[in-house]
Structure 1
Amino acid sequence: MATPTVTLLPPETCTNYALLPNEKLLSVSIPTSANPQGRGLVGILTVPPAALLDETTMLSATASADHPHPPTHRLAIVLHGKGGHKNYCYQALVAEALATKLGMYSFRFDFRGCGDSQENEQPEKGRKVLEDIEDIELVYDVFKRGGDYAEIGTNLVPNSIIGHSRGSVSMFQWALKQQTRLEMGQSFQFVPNLINCSARYMAKRLLRDLEGKGAFASVLNQYRLGEYRDIKIPAEEVIDLASQDLSKVKLLDHEIQVLSIYGMDDHIVPLSDSTYFANLLGSRHQLTFIPHADHNFYGIQTIDDDNADEFNPEGYPLNKKRKVNWNYKVTETIVDWLHTSNDVQRYKRATQEVYYYPRWRDIEGISNFRDIGGWRTEDNKHYVKAGIIFRCANPSNVTEFGKTQLKTLGVTQFFDFRSLPEFTKAGGLSITGIDVNNVPVFSDVDVSPQAIAQRYKNLLASWYTYKYVYEDMLNHGVNAYKSVLLFLRDNPSTGVVYNCTAGKDRTGVMTMLILLLLGVDHHTIAKEYELTTIGLVPDHARIKEDFYIQMTKLQKRLEYDPDVAAAHKQLNANASMEEMFENLISSRYESMISTIELFNHKFGGIEQYCKSKLGLTQEDIDTIRRNLLTKSSPYPDQNSTWKHRQSMGSLL
């Protein structure tokens, strides 16, 4: 199949919307179309405003009053409904909010036959859900490798799909198609967050609208190719939509989370349709109702001074007809649901177990202790063995019972990445029957989170530049990381733990290397890293106390070291002490995604790093993979079943 092209279109192509400075109007060609030279899919790429700045200016800007969020690699794909286009309802609002508040990119586009995009393959038959699915697949693939296109400029991780009405139906059918491909062992696309706004579940009700209508079901006045016009909707389009069965959404991968939003005065889709999604998806689903809102999230009452308190208590803007624009409420709900603090909690619940075995282990005296196995590989053919490799924070306070727990887990080896002073200060580690290897990532240099406050003062202002800290670790931690990989080569199915002080940075880089070597996808690696946000909570008070002590010492040194004084002054100008602490303990998804991008660019990818930096051979790499990958049981020598990337039942 030919490679899609991406073309930057002049803003005046879209006549119903004025592009913002951080937006681009793009056309994505459709190689599979009977008319591959046509206009393609036309949409608007909204870029985080901070991404348009150079890094120094951006980091300074993120501390300003309006506080634009640093750019991430996350992408939201925004889908419109029947008779809609890329700029109606909440689409433009949510795109800008995601960019400024969460640093997310978004692409809202017109499906074929809609808005500014090219015509359907068979215009006389109208829009088909299968074509919608193909359009979503195309957008997913193009933006995932967005760095190949100058018009996009960076590789993006499709993190969420936001669908309205019919767009949500196509979204769910796209997800079911990917689930089927996964079960068949084929390549598949994956998006963890699906947002359904006003989707119809009981589609067969649409057939009633066809009675006595003939070849055309209705006429809709809609935006098409630069103007609003009356468009005849073929009966076949309605029949196709009415045939959609969404009952199998209950079988979707349990990692997929769904937010549904409905207006309580929806005049198109019965409110009862929302309950089907709630019942089928269970705890993976959040249902939100917006009072007084219709299908497109506008109020049904005309607002005046007498009724504003009753029908617009939150004071949202009114449209030209003086109806409340509840799309602002929709936008706020979506932004809150996608916020990293909520997203990581959902992910923890979804990945709590590797089948019946817990991922997180409550080892007395050690926090942030978890299994890094059980993940499905990107080639959809293997799993990482579980019950073998564990990561954790400072183990020096492990109790006698905790030591017994470690032995019960089958742990025979500890690799401690702390510097010798750091290791000694914490009390070291000694466990009878378990070998403890102190292999510092930075020899004789304290790189605990508190010490990073001194060695990387400029990084405390933002999590965005943690990728440079990790680059340093990749350069200096060769002996430490090689030691672990050689152990995994020579000791198949032998329990091993590695740690640093917080179990976050040096430990996070080691986990990244192992999972990359085993072929786990970037999204899963970054989400696994982000779990430390939760795992480290028990240690926050201790780390914070030590951090403030270190910063106080730093303050005293200002009298004697003008260079330190200048750096400290700049740091304080960019962030408060509380903000610096929050950045210090952060383990943001975006930090790891950025690190992987940097790693691939500067080190040539995982195999090149292992060979050139660590001195491993191809045979070493192949042996490690044989030792740690399996096609059968997740646990060695146990008859268990995988849970990662599995449906809740068979779609085949």
Structure 2
Amino acid sequence: MADAAALLNLAETDVRTEIPKETYGPVLTKAPFIFVDGTFNTRDLGLIPDSPLRANFAFRSGALAQLTDHGKAVLKGKGIKRIFDLRSPEERARMPDPDLVGVENTWIHSARPDSTPDLGRFVANGGEEGYRDMYLEVVDVYRDSWKAILEHVRDRPREPFLVHCTAGRDRTGVFGGLLLTLAGASENVIALDYLLSRIGTEPVRLMLLQFALEGSNAMDQEQPGFENLCSLRRSCWDSFVDGVKKEYGGFEKFVTDELGFSDDDLAKIKANLTRP
């Protein structure tokens, strides 16, 4: 497993700077990352350094449409029984998930369409204000998916699962933070997992920059706010977490008060995340 400090140092590489393949390649082939041919940014939340979440249970990744037979075999070898897709109907239509034998695909129509990021909200400082707004919207828009994932954790603790969106970065990043928080992870561990997507998406960095350009309606990559939108920073994650506390009273209160889980449910979810 890679050292946390070394991972963090690499994850803080500016998004405009290419990470050489000889640098990121060895990182993406060992824990917490998993090389799954045909996708990217795949890792085991239980293998993040110092993660209290048990290994070989909760996985995250980018889109799966291009999975090769080798990639499918790797997922099968991890024992994954269910895949949760956090994408929009349009994203799914362009890149449908593959059917994997013995794996249940779950997609739940979100409460409303994702809004286009307002680049003006990302201009100041490191874009903290824009990220807080964007991720709080993700929490709300995908609440039915969060509920289904947590029901899986509560009811099917022996069935490993994977969650993905398109880049496996933002929507999936919010999921990772929610799950690690419930498992009792420290703020540093949670933030490290979030920042690791900078390394995990490096193989498709240029493609994702173009995806962000189209998705934000930016004139070009030099438009104010665009760089911050494409970057991952600890300060932005912290701003979002502070927003969750102010809006909902924290992740746990969101799970009980907004998603409708009882205190007993929450206790069982926590236990199933940390104990085999």
Shorter chain as denominator, the TM-score bin is 0.7 to 0.9
Q: 1:502 to 1:440 in 2, by over 3 A?
A: farther
Question: Whole-Å Cα distance in 2 between the matches of residues 339 and 407 of structure 1?
Answer: 28
Structure 1 residues 402-423: Cα deviation after superposition (integer angstroms, max 9, x where no partner): 1111111101100000011211
Question: Whole-Å Cα distance in 2 between the matches of residues 596 and 441 of structure 1?
Answer: 22
| 1:437 maps to 2:106 | yes
Match of 1:464 among 108, 123, 128: 128
Mapping of residues 173-192 of structure 1, within 5 Å: none
Question: Whole-Å Cα distance in 2 between the matches of residues 509 and 338 of structure 1?
Answer: 21
| 1:341 maps to 2:13 | yes
- Matched residues, number: 259
Whether the 8 Å contact between 2:60 and 2:163 is mirrored in structure 1 is yes
Question: Whole-Å Cα distance in 2 between the matches of residues 340 and 554 of structure 1?
Answer: 24
Whether the 8 Å contact between 1:368 and 1:503 is mirrored in structure 2 is yes
The aligned counterpart of 1:391 is 60
What's the CA shift for 1:460?
4.6
What's the CA shift for 1:361?
0.6
Provide the secondary structure at the position in 1 that maps to 2:259.
coil
> Which has the higher Rg, Structure 1 or Structure 2?
1
What's the CA shift for 1:439?
2.4
Match of 1:481 among 133, 146, 152: 146
Whether the 8 Å contact between 2:82 and 2:161 is mirrored in structure 1 is yes
Structure 1 residues 272-307: Cα deviation after superposition (integer angstroms, max 9, x where no partner): xxxxxxxxxxxx9xxxxxxxxxxxxxxxxxxxxxxx
The aligned counterpart of 1:308 is none
What's the CA shift for 1:550?
5.5
What's the CA shift for 1:482?
0.7
| 1:576 maps to 2:241 | no
Mapping of residues 412-431 of structure 1, within 5 Å: 412-431=81-100
What's the CA shift for 1:429?
3.3
State the identity %.
Answer: 25
Whether the 8 Å contact between 2:58 and 2:161 is mirrored in structure 1 is yes
Question: Whole-Å Cα distance in 1 between the matches of residues 10 and 53 of structure 2?
Answer: 28
Question: Whole-Å Cα distance in 1 between the matches of residues 10 and 37 of structure 2?
Answer: 33
Structure 1 residues 385-406: Cα deviation after superposition (integer angstroms, max 9, x where no partner): 0111111111111112211111
Question: Whole-Å Cα distance in 2 between the matches of residues 541 and 364 of structure 1?
Answer: 19
Q: 1:597 to 1:426 in 2, by over 3 A?
A: same
Amino acid at match of 1:420: P
| 1:366 maps to 2:39 | yes
Provide the secondary structure at the position in 1 that maps to 2:166.
coil
The aligned counterpart of 1:599 is 244
- Which is richer in strand? 1
Provide the secondary structure at the position in 2 that maps to 1:358.
coil
Provide the secondary structure at the position in 2 that maps to 1:436.
strand
Question: Whole-Å Cα distance in 1 between the matches of residues 41 and 242 of structure 2?
Answer: 26
Amino acid at match of 1:426: M
What's the CA shift for 1:580?
4.7
What's the CA shift for 1:623?
0.9
Question: Whole-Å Cα distance in 2 between the matches of residues 508 and 554 of structure 1?
Answer: 23
Mapping of residues 144-543 of structure 1, within 5 Å: 255=4, 340-341=12-13, 358-374=31-47, 376=50, 383-441=52-110, 443=112, 445=113, 447=114, 454-461=116-123, 462-465=126-129, 466-543=131-208
Could you say which structure has the greater relative contact order, defined with CA pairs below 8 angstroms and 6 or more residues apart?
2
Whether the 8 Å contact between 1:523 and 1:593 is mirrored in structure 2 is no
Amino acid at match of 1:458: G
Q: 1:338 to 1:473 in 2, by over 3 A?
A: closer
Whether the 8 Å contact between 1:522 and 1:596 is mirrored in structure 2 is no
Match of 1:589 among 234, 242, 245: 234
Provide the secondary structure at the position in 2 that maps to 1:437.
strand
Structure 1 residues 573-623: Cα deviation after superposition (integer angstroms, max 9, x where no partner): xx824x654333322222112211221222112221111111111111111
Mapping of residues 131-142 of structure 1, within 5 Å: none
Whether the 8 Å contact between 2:80 and 2:103 is mirrored in structure 1 is yes
The aligned counterpart of 1:608 is 253
Amino acid at match of 1:483: A
Q: Please list every run of 5 or more consecutive structure 1 residues that lacks an aligned counterpart in the other structure.
A: 1-253, 258-283, 285-336, 378-382, 556-571, 631-635, 637-652
RMSD, aligned CA: 3.0
Question: Whole-Å Cα distance in 1 between the matches of residues 206 and 109 of structure 2?
Answer: 25
Question: Whole-Å Cα distance in 2 between the matches of residues 516 and 399 of structure 1?
Answer: 33
What's the CA shift for 1:505?
1.0
Question: Whole-Å Cα distance in 2 between the matches of residues 398 and 359 of structure 1?
Answer: 20
What's the CA shift for 1:554?
7.0
Q: Please list every run of 5 or more consecutive structure 2 residues that lacks an aligned counterpart in the other structure.
A: none
Whether the 8 Å contact between 1:417 and 1:480 is mirrored in structure 2 is yes
TM-score w.r.t. length of structure 1? 0.37
The aligned counterpart of 2:262 is 617
Q: 1:539 to 1:623 in 2, by over 3 A?
A: same
Q: 1:622 to 1:475 in 2, by over 3 A?
A: same
